[in-house]
Chains A and B, each alone.
Chain A
Amino acid sequence: MSKLLLTGNEAIARGAWECGVGAAFGYPGTPSTEILENLVKYPGVYCEWSPNEKVAFESAAGAAIGGCRSMVTMKHVGLNVAADPMMTLSYVGIVAGMVIVVADDPGQHSSQTEQDTRHYARLAKLPILEPGNAVECAAFMKIAFDLSEKYRCPVILRSTTCVSHSRFHIETAERVEHSRVAFEKNLQQFVPIPMFGRKLRAKVEERMATQALESAQNRQLNTIFHRGNELGIISSGVAALHCVEQFSDASILKLGWAWPFPDQLLKDFAASCKKIAVIEEGDPILEEHVKALGISCDGKNVVPRCGELTPRVIAEIKAKLTGAPLPDFSQVAQADDLPTRPPMLCAGCPHRGIFYGLTKFDVIVTGDIGCYTLGAFPPLERTDLLICMGAGFTLAHGMVKAGETRPVVGIVGDSTFFHSGITGLLNLVYNKGNATLIVADNRTTAMTGHQDHPGTGRTLMGEETLSASIEEIAKACGMKRIRVVDPNDLEAVHQVLQQELAADEPSLIISRAPCILKEKSAAKPPLAIDADKCRNCRACLKLGCPAIETLDVKGKPSINAQQCVGCKMCESVCKFGAIR
């Protein structure tokens, strides 16, 4: 046994490994990605990146029903993709334990929405555990597997960005192997045709009632900090830990088993305190239930509905609840005029070429989720609409069908193409659409830190495998016009766009060059701007490259040698030969 300083994600992997998980599946998504990246380093666990969360979920379900402790990981929006199998698996149940690890992103650090996965637990009628730090991440994983086997249903473990990315010391243990349980045919259990499904449905309700009773007794998951009877706070996750520090005179009930609600525990705790407040991140799920139990409490009247419950927000809640003076949190430095630092395409990013190329045409661009989402930022500003994974293609199709007269361009990345782009492309061809589709193919899942996918020729386990061809798949779907272009060659990009945007049938452009962060060997010596030749026309600045700097409008731009990777895009846009 040793002590390790682990992030929540590392601890989830550690806890799963220690309790004998045999198979793990997932699709990358911040803040969940590092779970599988760490789990794969341990011996004896099969790990894979699946093309999307639904595939990952169903594979994990198959593994668990096949008798092997399994898990699936994803970010909150990934669960939208995997929701379909989850609803039915709740009825069908599992044989060996299965844990669904979902990482929510309160505050939307890197997400398009702020979803509260507890809603899904209630909808799917599955237990959900909510660790507040890495210690609990490891411990709760083990409990989740035990509960899953006890109740023969998958268990959700919900992390959040702060929990996943904060480090705490955890005591490690050795792995306890979990032997495979053989699958036995049982139609009434595993084939939920309506006549069997109705019986399973009733059993699910019984299961939930039993779980609520057990949760009320469980002091390992649901902990109480007894500190007087004036104010009692009911909270969960990392928000509860902020409360433990800041409300030194309040008793705190920290729910680690977030649903089904432990009614008796909530009633007993409320009866022990004069005043009750529910402080929960996200939606008022717990608060509404507490009120439904007839307990009057403060909640979203003082707790924000949106955003992360940071220590500062907790301090503001405390001031409202207790009348305690609020420290002065205002900026001490003059900061209102500080330039912002939004994320952007890296110096040398090949995506820049295709987005820059699009700035030369009057088109509508429907984008997608990945590094190339950053093409929406100035000065490129070449994304007009963004919804979710795969929608880059399908939104474009819909816009054309709506009668849009400008050319419509739909962009997805390579990982996104395999995730959910293929069906959109197939549909566009089948239903005679006429959008220009682009795959921004940088040969990796870049935004989440370079994970492999079906097109990279390598698995998460590090094995070589076949590399699925985007152009062959498109061809098989019936796409006739397929062009491959190197986005670092701006002239070629312009030509291809000109031809394909003018075509009166759908076309696919594969903009292909490796991610510069991944292929560090592709970096070349930095370029420099010859100030004598530079006329300060600022054409190079329109590329939005972070390596090209200028402090004000009058000053000529210069290239930051620490950042430049020598991609030479700026050289090709300089009409005066000033960049070499």
Chain B
Amino acid sequence: MNQNILLCGVGGQGILLAAKIIALAAEKAGFEVTTNEVHGMAQRGGSVTAQLRYGDAVYSPLILERQADVLASMEMIEALRYAHFLKPGGLAAVSTQKIIPVTVSSGKMQYPADAEARLREVFPRLELCDCLDAAIKMGNAKLANTILLGTLSAGLAGIDLPLWESAISECVKPAFVEANLAAFRFGRKENER
């Protein structure tokens, strides 16, 4: 069994922390884990991706297109940009943030007005959530990525809830553990199970 996860968004949205938590949770579940992150120039406002693979035997750190079990995006058009990585039937977890690129603000390009409709059309298994708004309601905008993490965790095999919670507890500062666990459970819809 191998699981492939592609995380995307824009620099500063907490993608790399989410990747770190998934990697640790998978490690705790006894899997081989690899991750790949975008560094350098791409951090200056460019789109950011992190790839994770875990399973019984993993050689390559990169995901082949059409092979991701989960695509999770902190931004709507970034989900569309990487949609072709998701395997048929895979879970797309998308936060409804729009981060307007300078190419749009300068009038050279357009942010698609129908981004949400396109997401619904492309992803049969779509979990759409305004993670930022939900996080602000929970008292801290920085919880948005943990909410998305909760949502995407429901699409991954082989990692039980206690392992997720233990990974989160190790990756965030002690003062923020409870809030992050609550955000994770909210995103995972634990209360509705």
Contacts and interface: CB of A to CB of B under 8 A. Distances in A.
Interface of A: 5, 7, 30-31, 34, 109-110, 133, 162, 165-169, 238, 241-242, 244-246, 310-312, 315, 327-335, 337-346, 371, 374, 377-379, 447-448, 538, 541, 544-546, 548-553, 557, 560, 562
Contact of B44 (A331, A374, A557, A562): A374
23 contacts: A7-B37, A162-B61, A169-B32, A245-B60, A328-B66, A332-B86, A332-B122, A334-B112, A334-B118, A339-B77, A341-B45, A341-B78, A341-B101, A342-B101, A343-B44, A344-B102, A378-B103, A379-B102, A546-B102, A546-B105, A548-B105, A550-B104, A560-B100
Contact of B45 (A169, A343, A553): A343
A329 B65 contact: yes
B22 to A, nearest CB: 11
B60 A371 contact: no
Given A169-B27, A334-B118, 16 more contacts: A30-B39, A109-B40, A238-B62, A242-B60, A311-B60, A332-B83, A332-B122, A333-B121, A334-B80, A339-B101, A343-B45, A345-B44, A378-B103, A538-B107, A541-B106, A548-B105
Contacts of A343: 41-46
Secondary structure of the A side of the interface? loop
Interface in B26-73: 27, 32-47, 59-67
B111 interface: yes
Q: Dominant SS at the B interface?
A: mixed
Nearest to A342: B46
Given A5-B23, A329-B84, A167 B59 contact: no
Nearest to B80: A333
A404 to B, nearest CB: 29
Interface of B: 10, 23-24, 27, 32-47, 59-67, 77-78, 80-81, 83-84, 86, 100-112, 118-119, 121-122, 141
Nearest to A133: B61
A550 B112 CA distance: 13
Contacts of B101: 339-342, 546
A91 B98 CA distance: 58
A346 B33 CA distance: 33
B103 A340 contact: yes
Contacts of B102: 342, 344, 377-379, 544-546
A346 B105 contact: no
Nearest to A105: B40
B61 A31 contact: no
B148 to A, nearest CB: 16
A173 B83 CA distance: 41
Given A166-B61, A546-B102, A110 B42 contact: yes
A551 B100 contact: yes
A48 to B, nearest CB: 22
Given A162-B36, A329-B84, A333-B122, A338 B77 contact: yes
A546 B46 CA distance: 11
B59 A110 contact: no
Contacts of B106: 378-379, 541, 544
Contact of A447 (B38, B40, B66, B122): B40
B48 to A, nearest CB: 9
Contacts of B63: 311
Given A331-B84, A337-B112, A339-B109, A109 B45 contact: no
